[in-house]
């Protein structure tokens, strides 16, 4: 289950995912000094970029022969099995409408678990596919949401949480591996936000959100029905704590905490003694810590300036393992086989989508199992990003991910788009993004801004926008425009703003509350904060207070929320707008976009609207992603590249 900070980040999130470490600072270096001649680059249609396959999941089968992978190779996400040694995959599910996500092989055979919602409504169910190919819904019912919580160390049980009893709270059930009979082992009546069961099934870690700055961790002995959860992070000050993992022997809990400085550190709680000790620290946030099943290896992920720095330690020696070389990029989805003899993982970079690799531990070479990039794309036509920084209105340094098109030069200045991530506490990160690469390929500079309030840059930076949304963070976006105008290869008079979810909100805010931008693309963005905060999905109830601390309580702060909501200021929108929405979105309701479109049209301002009947908060069907991408490019071509700018400097 998600920790509370990540859940808040994902509440209104459309994240620019990515990887690779080059960094420049605007004050000290000009990123990618402009050339005098324009590079020759082949421009590809959206369909070609989305012919690239998106892959995730790396569960290894009990016989170490296959990897369970989720892929959109056939246009919608389905579950596949890839041979560990390479070769053609076997397609295991064949959905033509709803997106399926593989979760795990069973410990001792080739049954597997997967999840699916209905048309993007986020009401996930857990399914098992039997050896004969038949499928059973393990969480039947209407209007419920479920999630897989992992396996018992004895392989006889697995854990699932559902909100079937109370839409606002998730209870935990223990299922038998053989016949799927289940037992309620924890009834969640206190609104716990995150839960994790120890491998031996005896302990349950619980997270309680007190505010958006303060989360406490508790430990419950599941073997004693009379026991109450024990508070294990009794901090005097407000501290954000999160559950990472139990140790394989179930004797310790590894957790994240920002109690000791600006950044999240990994600490260990010894269950027997009650002692806390430092586990792993860095100069950036530690994002996760987990172990191989037998405990021989420990995986540690650090959010290093918008890239993931992953370390795999041999727990016996305490040293990083010596892996054969692999392409430059971030490691993702790292999993060992149960016997720790095989390692499966992905490598992702700005110019390469995630590809699956396997390694027989100790051998001299890796096996590249997949080649996900569209075969029609020449990798040399893609663009690697840079981390750049500029000073905002108050001198605060704002980090960004900048893509400079190969066509750009002093004599061939290009239009630019400021891309705003979701969240509000999300982060624009390095790594492959077909939406971004397609626009860059067609000659648009892309600046992925990490405005104040973004995660990854310390707790002070993260909280700078609390209840100041649409104000200081919007000024960061304005100053991002000024930064782009300082680059000699950017057309200073053709700068648009674009974003999804919370980024869609800031896009509309930029158009309603400033006259700085020439066009805007709003992808399922909030336009009426009062309604959005009153209609959050019931399964977000445990984070409600955290959301109110971040954004405001609609019962108490309705006046301010109306003041920063673009819908109530639509008459001020003068630049052309493209709005894209999923009809089944449970976070940003379709009515948000419907009303915004109608209000802008009343002004006589150009507005285009793309509505997908079979999507939610994010577009999973490849055909829809292609249609949306074509709409982005066509809109920018008409209203940014070809139009005369009317925005002020």
Would the pLDDT of 9 be above 90? no
Q: CA 370, CA 40: separation in Å to the nearest integer?
A: 29
Alpha helix segments (H runs only) across 12-107: 46-49
Alpha helix segments (H runs only) across 420-487: 434-441, 459-462, 472-485
Beta-strand relationship, 367-368 and 386-391: unpaired
Phi and psi of 568, rounded to 5°? Answer: -80, 0
| pLDDT at residue 464, rounded to an integer | 96
Beta-strand relationship, 577-582 and 330-336: unpaired
Secondary structure string (H, E, C) spanning 572-606: HCCCCEEEEEECCCCCCCHHHHHHHHHHHHHCCCC
At 4, the pLDDT band (50, 70, 90 cuts) reads very low
Region 383-397: mean pLDDT is 98
Range name among 132-146, 184-198, 368-382, 631-645 with the lowest pLDDT average: 631-645
- Of 368, 367, 340, 346, residue with least CA distance to 60: 340
Beta-carbon contacts of residue 208 (< 8 Å; ≥ 6 apart): 190, 191, 192, 193, 215, 216, 217, 218
Region 224-243: mean pLDDT is 92
Beta-carbon contacts of residue 213 (< 8 Å; ≥ 6 apart): 238, 239, 240, 459, 463, 549
**Among residues of the chain, what percentage have pLDDT more than 70?**
93
Q: CA 455, CA 648: separation in Å to the nearest integer?
A: 31
SS3 category, 317: coil
pLDDT, tens only, 638-648: 999 997 644 43
- Asked if the bond preceding 424 is cis, omega within 30° of 0, the reply is yes
pLDDT, tens only, 588-621: 889 999 999 999 999 999 999 999 999 999 898 9
DSSP letters spanning 85-140: T----EE----SSS-EEEEEE-SSSS-EEEEE-STT----EEEEE-TTS-EEESS-
| pLDDT at residue 536, rounded to an integer | 79
Contact 367, 86 (CB under 8 A): yes
Would the pLDDT of 328 be above 90? yes
Tokens 């727990």 belong to residue: 315
- Of 226, 643, 152, 622, residue with least CA distance to 434: 622
Secondary structure string (H, E, C) spanning 214-280: EEEEEEEECCCCCCCCEECCCCCCCCEEEEEEECCCCCEEEEEECCCCCCCEEEEEECCCCCEEEEE
- Of 82, 122, 81, 68, residue with least CA distance to 99: 122
Residue 136 CB neighbour total at 10 angstroms = 11
pLDDT, tens only, 494-550: 999 999 999 999 999 999 999 999 999 999 999 999 998 888 788 777 778 888 888
Region 558-577: mean pLDDT is 96
Residue 84 CB neighbour total at 10 angstroms = 21
Token pair in block for residue 246: 């139990």
Contact 485, 615 (CB under 8 A): no
Would the pLDDT of 95 be above 50? yes
Residue of 644 and 567 predicted with greater confidence: 567
| pLDDT at residue 649, rounded to an integer | 40
Phi and psi of 176, rounded to 5°? Answer: -80, 140
**What is the gyration radius of the CA atoms in the chain, in angstroms?**
24
CATH of span 4-47+377-641: 3.40.50.1820
pTM of the shown model: 0.92
Per-residue b or e along 316-351, where b marks 16 or more CB atoms closer than 10 Å to that residue's CB = eeeeeeeeeeeeebbbbbbbbbbeeebbbbbbbbbb
The dihedral region occupied by 460, where left means phi > 0, alpha psi between -120 and 50, and beta the remainder, is alpha
Q: What is the mean pLDDT of the chain?
A: 92
Beta-carbon contacts of residue 325 (< 8 Å; ≥ 6 apart): none
SS3 category, 449: strand
CA 435 to chain centre: 15
| Domain ranges within the chain, ordered by starting residue | 4-47+377-641
pLDDT, tens only, 401-439: 999 999 999 999 999 999 999 988 999 999 999 999 999
Would the pLDDT of 138 be above 70? yes
């Amino acid at each position: 289950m998600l920790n509370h900070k990540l859940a808040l980040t994902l509440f209104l999130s459309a994240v620019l995912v990515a990887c690779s470490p080059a960094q420049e600072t605007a004050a000290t270096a000009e990123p990618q000094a402009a050339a005098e001649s324009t590079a020759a680059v082949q421009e590809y249609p959206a369909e070609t970029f989305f012919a690239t396959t998106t892959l995730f999941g790396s569960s290894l089968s009990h016989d170490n022969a296959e990897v369970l992978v989720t892929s959109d190779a056939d246009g919608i996400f389905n579950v596949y099995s890839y041979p560990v040694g390479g070769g053609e995959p076997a397609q295991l599910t064949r959905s033509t409408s709803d997106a399926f996500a593989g979760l795990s092989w069973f410990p001792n055979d080739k049954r597997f678990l997967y999840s699916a919602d209905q048309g993007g409504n986020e009401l996930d169910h857990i399914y098992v596919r039997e050896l004969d190919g038949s499928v059973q819904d393990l969480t039947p019912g209407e209007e419920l949401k479920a999630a897989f919580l992992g396996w018992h160390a004895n392989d006889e049980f697995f854990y699932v949480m559902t909100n079937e009893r109370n839409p606002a709270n998730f209870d935990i059930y223990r299922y038998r591996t053989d016949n799927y009979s289940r037992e309620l082992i924890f009834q969640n009546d206190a609104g716990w936000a995150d839960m994790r069961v120890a491998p031996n099934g005896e302990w349950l870690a619980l997270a309680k959100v007190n505010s958006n700055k303060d989360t406490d961790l508790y430990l419950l002995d599941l073997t004693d029905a009379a026991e109450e959860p024990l508070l294990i992070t009794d901090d005097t000050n407000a501290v954000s704590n999160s559950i990472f993992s139990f140790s394989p022997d179930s004797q310790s809990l590894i957790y994240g905490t920002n109690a000791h400085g600006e950044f999240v550190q990994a600490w260990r709680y010894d269950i027997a003694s009650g002692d806390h000790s430092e586990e792993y620290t860095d100069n950036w946030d530690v994002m996760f810590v987990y172990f191989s099943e037998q405990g021989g290896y420990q995986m540690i992920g650090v959010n290093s300036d918008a890239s993931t720095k992953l370390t795999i330690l041999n727990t016996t020696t305490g040293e990083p393992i010596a892996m054969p070389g692999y392409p430059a990029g971030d490691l993702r989805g790292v999993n060992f086989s149960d016997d720790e003899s095989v390692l499966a993982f992905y490598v992702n970079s700005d110019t390469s989508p995630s590809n699956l690799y396997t390694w027989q531990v100790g051998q001299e070479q890796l096996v590249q199992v997949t080649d996900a990039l569209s075969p029609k794309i020449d990798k040399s036509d893609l663009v690697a990003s840079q981390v750049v920084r500029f000073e905002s209105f108050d001198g605060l340094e704002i980090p960004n991910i900048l893509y400079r098109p190969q066509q750009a030069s002093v004599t061939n200045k290009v239009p630019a788009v400021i891309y705003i991530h979701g969240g509000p506490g999300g982060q624009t990160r390095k790594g492959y993004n077909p939406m971004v690469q397609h626009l860059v390929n067609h000659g648009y500079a892309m600046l992925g801004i990490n405005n104040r309030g973004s995660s990854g840059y310390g707790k002070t930076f993260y909280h700078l926008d609390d209840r100041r949304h649409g104000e200081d963070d919007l000024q960061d976006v304005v100053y991002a425009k000024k930064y782009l105008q300082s680059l000699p290869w950017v057309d200073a008079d053709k700068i648009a703003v674009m974003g999804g979810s919370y980024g869609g909100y800031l896009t509309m805010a930029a158009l309603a509350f400033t006259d700085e931008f020439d066009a805007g693309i709003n992808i399922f963005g909030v336009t009426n904060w009062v309604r959005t905060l009153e209609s959050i999905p019931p399964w977000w109830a445990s984070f409600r207070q955290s959301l109110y601390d971040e954004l405001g309580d609609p019962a108490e702060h309705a006046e301010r929320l109306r003041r920063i909501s673009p819908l109530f200021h639509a008459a001020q929108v003068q630049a052309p707008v493209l709005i894209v929405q999923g009809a089944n979105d449970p976070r940003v309701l379709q009515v948000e976009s419907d009303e915004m479109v109608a209000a802008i049209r009343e002004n006589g301002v150009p507005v285009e609207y793309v509505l997908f009947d079979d999507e939610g908060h994010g577009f999973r069907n490849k055909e829809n992603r292609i249609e949306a991408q074509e709409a982005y490019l066509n809109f920018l071509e008409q209203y940014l590249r070809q139009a005369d700018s009317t925005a002020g400097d």
